[in-house]
Structure 1
């Protein structure tokens, strides 16, 4: 069972989890059904493609805002969040951000934040609180720089310590680049 040590906002919560998937589509159907049952949206974001909590929070805030203002890009809130987190309007580019087969680590986002859904989540989801998810390894840094198209000049000007800010900027700019 997941504990309450997670990042919370009034509109959503972000929980670091480990998920072991054997059947991706079955899992997605299950969490969609749970979402319908509890009137929430559940989104899994692959930690390997995320630059920490601020990246997820930025994407959630912008996706929820566009959804509430009826300026959404996608037909579902789940897809809207995935597009914002990837900083793209191209659905063909967001696959690495979603659930994958095998054991993986995810940011589990629930909106609106609803405590009772936590007890109904499938057993394959286990909360993880033994790591600092904001740490970006060299391998992950290379993957993020390549995916988000961050140039060496940008890193030189801003400094490597600003990588997360550059990625959050790409996320926020999706609202502008319509």
Structure 2
């Protein structure tokens, strides 16, 4: 486990958002108050919590190496989650208007931060890490993974292919 994984704590939450910008301002204020970074990933677009962990780890490494695309850890993590250099694409992997299923990441998870966040988000037990056929199809579309590529990688390797796309962002920089 690297330093990013040990310094970040991830929990699953749900929230219905009418004004994303307002909620993001509130989350930034909580992060500033707690001396932390808060990243919210759209769990419906990720290949499980391992995907969020990989995005956090790669974002931290990119910032530390001076090779970041963005100017913030939060946006860099979203870029890695999306496997894209485009901020407009990365933003779609975060908080959005309507019903949200989120992996909420606090880096570091400072004392009291989860209490502050629980006033804004409803924390729940996380979803199953199993990928339903519908989720597999959605991930294949999101990450441009062909059926032939899935077949070549082997049964039940879609998550690995998604994580490969996430890691390949370094190559496309």
1:9, 1:113 within 8 Å by CA — same for their partners in 2?
Answer: no
> Any unmatched runs of 5+ in structure 1?
1-7
Task: Return the offset for 1:60.
Answer: 0.7
Q: Once the 2 structures are TM-superposed, how far is the Cα of residue 94 of structure 1 from its aligned partner?
A: 2.0
From 127, 136, 145, give the equivalent of 1:150. 145
- Counterparts of 1:95-134 in structure 2 under 5 Å? 95-129=91-125, 131-132=127-128, 134=129
Partner of 1:38: 34
Question: How far is the alpha carbon of 1:121 from its aligned partner?
Answer: 1.2
Pairs within 5 Å for 1:11-90: 11-90=7-86
Q: What's the counterpart of residue 140 of structure 1?
A: 135
User: By how many angstroms is 1:176 displaced?
Assistant: 2.4
Number of residue pairs aligned between Structure 1 and Structure 2: 170
Matched residue SS, 2:14: strand
Residue from 171, 175, 178 that aligns with 2:170: 175
Q: How many Å apart are 1:130 and its aligned residue? A: 5.9
RMSD over aligned CA atoms reads: 1.6
Distance 1:62 1:101, change over 3 A: same
Distance 1:27 1:88 in 2: 24
For the residue of structure 2 that corresponds to 1:10, the secondary structure is helix
Q: Identify unmatched segments of 5+ residues in structure 2.
A: none
TM (normalized to structure 2)?
0.91
User: Partners of 1:159 and 1:139 in 2: how far apart?
Assistant: 18
Q: Which stretch has the larger CA shift, 75-84 or 118-127? A: 118-127
